[in-house]
Chains A and B, each alone.
Chain A
Amino acid sequence: SQQGEEDPQALSIQEGENATMNCSYKTSINNLQWYRQNSGRGLVHLILIRSNEREKHSGRLRVTLDTSKKSSSLLITASRAADTASYFCATDAGAGGSYIPTFGRGTSLIVHP
């Protein structure tokens, strides 16, 4: 089963618009990470937010985390055609030095030029 679930499954927008993707999870986490994947290739790490953080920024990316609601959001501002990709959230549920990361099914983002 997948702990992290992204919403929406697919998102289609015009260049310049903002894109917001959400991730919900079920159990307590140490941190949550967002990744990007271009067309069946390897994943690229975008941002990590720890459980004691509420918001983080990196360039045009803004991530929020609400541990009370067990949810996170990824906002991409002023989107570009090159942002077209699948976006995944990943949570960790391991303890005692082991690490069991769990990815959601992802949000497929298409940015039209």
Chain B
Amino acid sequence: ETGVTQSPTHLIKTRGQQVTLRCSSQSGHNTVSWYQQALGQGPQFIFQYYREEENGRGNFPPRFSGLQFPNYSSELNVNALELDDSALYLCASSLSRDGRGEQFFGPGTRLTVL
């Protein structure tokens, strides 16, 4: 157990809907990153938040957005859901924002878009 929690565990939505996923960082970690992992693939970096500001973004459209709160917990919002958004969404917290340290991953949220 890493101390990083995510909710919900599983979620089923229909195409066109919006979804919000939540992540609670490990205590003391000020950086959180979000990843999308399709079946049989490695995690794809969506974006990273450091002290409530976006600090790097992968190749994802603007309908993927996020927030980080003063307590360093975070949300991932996806608008206008598409079938290809079905995946495991992982968040990871860390002490460093430059990738020089270990990331602690949560168990993930499994999103299915019908």
A31–B58 CA distance with the chains assembled, in angstroms: 18
Collect the chain B residues with CB atoms within 8 Å of residue A104's CB: 42
Question: How many residues of chain A get a CB closer than 8 Å to chain B's CBs?
Answer: 27
Q: A94-B99, A98-B55 are in contact. Are A43 and B48 (CB under 8 A)?
A: no
Chain A interface (Cβ < 8 Å from any Cβ of B): 2, 4, 30-31, 33, 35, 40-45, 48, 50, 88, 92, 94, 97-106
Q: Which partner residue on chain A sits nearest B48 by CB separation?
A: A99
Q: Which partner residue on chain A sits nearest B40 by CB separation?
A: A105
Query: What number of A-B contacts does a CB cutoff of 8 Å give?
Result: 78
A94–B105 CA distance with the chains assembled, in angstroms: 20
Please state if A102 and B45 are interface contacts (CB–CB under 8 Å). yes
A4–B45 CA distance with the chains assembled, in angstroms: 13
Report A25 CB to chain B, min CB distance, Å: 12
Collect the chain A residues with CB atoms within 8 Å of residue B97's CB: 97-99
Indicate which residue in B41, B100, B108 contacts A41 across the interface (CB closer than 8 Å): B108
